[in-house]
Chains A and B, each alone.
Chain A
């Protein structure tokens, strides 16, 4: 098959020896002549339709059944050596001495480039590309870029968290001023939470996760704005915490550094999708001026040493949501399958239906911790208010205050890799290790929704 085309077109193209990149003249059965460059068939298009790029730059598709003849007009032009690319900045910045920031690539939109011909998105992140695309980072630090691996963030698994923890630890040991982790946005908050626990006993410098909601091929991409913000944090933030750095609002004005254990992707597509839940963000960053404005003064300070790594995650933890359905059956299945721990997103205060309580009791009896957070996201779980809650407590669930449920899942995965003792687990889960639990919510820690009228 030629470049993703179906049998008929492949045969046709092979018969004249045409390949993607070749300029061809296509004569259609209705007598029209179309000249253009053959493109490979990408993704899920109809493989019986030939795609050519016209001289104007437009692509059009011609169905095999309408093609009378194809002839080659010119062979694919091999590109000459590429000259030195134009720099975005008038003057190359010279980085402050002895400030080195390490950028680690793990994949996702921020570390992808579009193939301008096919539109296919290819993962790639090199030192050269980063400096070419966002040369302003050099105003704040020297940069080294390394790719840990490249996956779309929905493919992320706990064993990959471990690899990232190792990579970050190595960089910190080598003496960098801070680490930036470029990550896909879908599961970025899980990974950020994972690192928060792995480094909670000792982290001398900031670790800033960063992603992009708009791909970097577009002039409106948020990638550069976010990356610059993250580098600023890594280079000079006074705090040494694991944070997620992303747009603060829809405009290009400031970004926010959120604690890795408090942040959640709250929108499918907006730039400001990442928001702290039940907590204030740690800081505002103005990438145009390089200013960092601290919003929460309770933070761990940057130090010259003191790295303590506590790596390791259990990969057999279940995370389920209570819903009006056969939840008891699901819990029984998880126990049967030998899961090591279960996090339940309960309704409201953290409830499950009473028929599920029997299953919870069985889990606890078999040594499987059952952790409860709330699917309302905002607010604190409280199992003392209604009798169902009290029955859940009696059955042995571990409620985790105002912890967001995804963080509860990551934390349980981390805890289970250290102990299987239910008492120990309960103690660790209900202690505030990395800022994941807050004991005071003032009234503004809840978004104000739009209710019509003047915005």
Chain B
């Protein structure tokens, strides 16, 4: 889509909020294990009531959900949730292990650490937290993070907080959540809004992730790290984009958002040119069901048969704007539809820029225009077919959104999709409702705590790099690749444990070359648990399998997640062969091909080696095969020549 954007000129400002699960024994405020399960569970139903601030106001989106009769089903796995997650018991004291890990990070970025940590309640009423708020505490302010050896980025806050429940599904008015994830400790790192290009945002996110992993105390895998973005351009608005799961998606999401804001600004300017002001949009939704009595539109037919109605709204002067693309595959009309869906609970809208269509005829469109007294050449119309009440609410929401269009870009919270586009989630909450968690007394940060955190503090990037090069003899390039690897903490541990039997460079290569290669081929290596990879390395280090067997074995592990590694080694026949057995196989191969080999003269070795490796790869070290082939060749050819 479109020409290249000059982000500097557009005044792009991006702030990142990175949420990373910590690898602790327990959750943040109770003694449940901090991992996810697929296990038997009880469940219970709750509702959340919008509460008032001191000024008497309520969160409008929360109020709306409540009025709709929204209820939440909580699935409570017996071994991974307790009364604390069920909001049936006050929180236990803040998990010290989690606090220390977070403090270690704060120390590593030279943030200011408070003398007293105050756990707060941040009101969140989407049901993902049984209490209706998230417990969260600032443990560091300011500081900076090295993105590369010559560039650092300022941080705003470092927070330790509880993760929310996992959404499992939605049926009618009931959303299901599972409580296993609720309470897993998270560290949240927020940068200042100083990032000025999409690519830079990705780099910073990657650097934060790397710095976190350098501690070796964070979780890995899908869903354990989540990125939120705050994106704005000059003249636009701050959009909060939630839940970008993959790093490489960040630039695309930002670019799409910038283009969306630009498109919305164009719409605004166009409306101004057409002389549309808020007064032009003071219209009420009108019942136009009569027009569709004989309709051929299946969707409308179905609604009418169920006793529904068709309502229409005129958008004066909007002709042609609803079809304008704001993001790949998403039009300005989609933005209106998002509002209609959210606030009216309807399936969607029809608008004049896509009509006739969906079985709605030109004649029907014209009659609606007529009924509304609208001008076919300049006005747009929007139709909703649904229960009367919903249809009216939906069209009022469309009108509200159209009014926003006159001003430009509304402040919104949007959700990220896998394809890099975003969708409307809700209006940006007013100043976050935050008040003290009175069940947990303030925590004094003691010198002991700082001392312990210092021990966990990740080494600065250059120091770590130097150590890999100096101590383990890695080439600089390889060392850099190792540090960038998602499993760097595992790699480091393996070097420490098996370095005496297996050269560090072999271990690193297996990860950054072989494993990465397999990922490129589509093998799901990322879901293999550390323990299994460690097992593979230990088998190689103990000489029980050849390192050439690595790829074959890892592929098998990825494809058989239930199987244990030893069994796979047996099944695949990867167990190392004795020298004698290998020797007799080689002898047989050479005898079978003796004529060819004789004819090849000096190239005989290469050919013999190729034949032998075909049979023996992964079963015995290549070096050993070479020695045996050389010996046997000499024996056979020597004897016969």
Contacts and interface: CB of A to CB of B under 8 A. Distances in A.
Q: Do A and B bind each other?
A: yes
Interface of A: 28, 30, 32, 34, 42-46, 49, 51, 54, 56-63, 66, 79, 82-86, 88-90, 114-121, 132-133, 214, 216-221, 224, 249-253, 268-271, 454-455
B3 interface: no
A330 B106 CA distance: 57
A58 B434 contact: yes
Contacts of B53: 116
Contacts of A118: 436
Contacts of B125: 219
A83 B138 CA distance: 33
Contacts of B435: 114, 116-117, 119, 217
Given A32-B141, A45-B441, A61 B52 contact: no
Nearest to A55: B431
Given A219-B123, A250-B88, A58 B137 contact: yes
B120 interface: yes
B314 interface: no
- Identify the interface centre among A32, A60, A116: most chain B CB within 10 Å of its CB: A60
Contacts, number: 163
Q: What is the interface of chain A mostly: helix, strand, loop, or mixed? A: loop
Nearest to B136: A58
Contact of A86 (B57, B133, B159): B57
Contact of A219 (B57, B62, B142, B431): B62
Contacts of A79: 55
A59 B432 CA distance: 13
Interface string B568-596: 00000000000000000000000000000
Given A82-B56, A219-B51, A250-B86, 18 more contacts: A45-B441, A46-B444, A49-B116, A56-B434, A58-B120, A58-B136, A59-B436, A60-B116, A61-B115, A62-B115, A86-B60, A86-B63, A217-B435, A220-B48, A251-B45, A252-B45, A268-B89, A269-B83
Nearest to B122: A57
A214 B87 contact: yes
A61 B119 CA distance: 11
Interface string B115-159: 111101111010000111100111001100000000000000101
Contact of A455 (B42, B58, B432): B42
Nearest to B121: A218
A49 B51 contact: no
B559 interface: no
Contacts of B47: 252
The 9 A-B residue pairs with the shortest CB-CB distance, nearest first, are A61-B116, A219-B132, A119-B436, A57-B434, A85-B56, A251-B44, A59-B118, A63-B115, A60-B114
A454 to B, nearest CB: 7
5 contacts: A46-B442, A51-B442, A57-B431, A117-B54, A119-B436
B40 interface: yes
B5 interface: no
A454 B112 CA distance: 50
A61 B117 contact: yes
Interface in B414-455: 431-438, 441-442, 444
Contacts of A252: 45-47, 71
B78 interface: yes
Contacts of B136: 58
Contacts of A51: 116, 118, 442
B8 interface: no
Contact of A57 (B48, B60, B90, B120): B120
Interface of B: 40, 42, 44-58, 60, 62-63, 66-67, 71, 78, 83, 86-90, 112, 114-118, 120-123, 125, 130-133, 136-138, 141-142, 157, 159, 431-438, 441-442, 444
Contacts of A56: 138, 157, 432, 434
A79 B57 CA distance: 14
A220 B45 contact: no
A326 B441 CA distance: 38
A39 B282 CA distance: 45
Contact of A251 (B46, B62, B118, B432): B46
B16 to A, nearest CB: 15
Contact of A253 (B42, B45, B118, B137): B45
A283 to B, nearest CB: 20
Given A61-B115, A132-B52, A214-B87, A88 B66 contact: yes
A216 B45 CA distance: 19
A120 B116 CA distance: 18
Contacts of B123: 219
A214 B121 CA distance: 14
Given A60-B117, A62-B114, A270 B438 contact: no
A329 to B, nearest CB: 37
Contacts of A85: 52, 56-58
B15 to A, nearest CB: 12
Contacts of A84: 56
Nearest to B57: A86
B189 to A, nearest CB: 14
Contacts of B83: 269-270
Contacts of A62: 114-116
Contacts of B120: 57-59
B213 to A, nearest CB: 26
Contacts of B58: 85-86, 88
Contacts of A220: 46, 48-49, 87, 130-132
Contact of B78 (A34, A216, A455): A455
- Identify the interface centre among A58, A268, A271, A455: most chain B CB within 10 Å of its CB: A58
B118 A114 contact: no
B367 to A, nearest CB: 32
Contacts of A58: 118, 120, 136-138, 157, 159, 434
Given A82-B55, A219-B132, A271-B88, A44 B138 contact: no
B327 to A, nearest CB: 30
A63 B112 CA distance: 13
Contacts of B87: 214, 220
A269 B86 CA distance: 11
Nearest to B130: A220
B50 A219 contact: yes
A34 B112 contact: yes
A364 to B, nearest CB: 44
A116 B54 contact: yes
A117 B55 CA distance: 12
A84 B57 CA distance: 9
Nearest to A31: B112
A60 B433 CA distance: 16
A218 B438 contact: no
Nearest to B73: A251
Contacts of B117: 60-61
Given A32-B112, A119-B436, A269 B122 contact: no
Contacts of A117: 54, 435
A124 B89 CA distance: 24
Contacts of A114: 435, 438
Contacts of A116: 53-54, 433, 435
A219 B45 contact: no
A20 B122 CA distance: 22
A214 B438 CA distance: 12
B141 A60 contact: yes
B432 A57 contact: yes
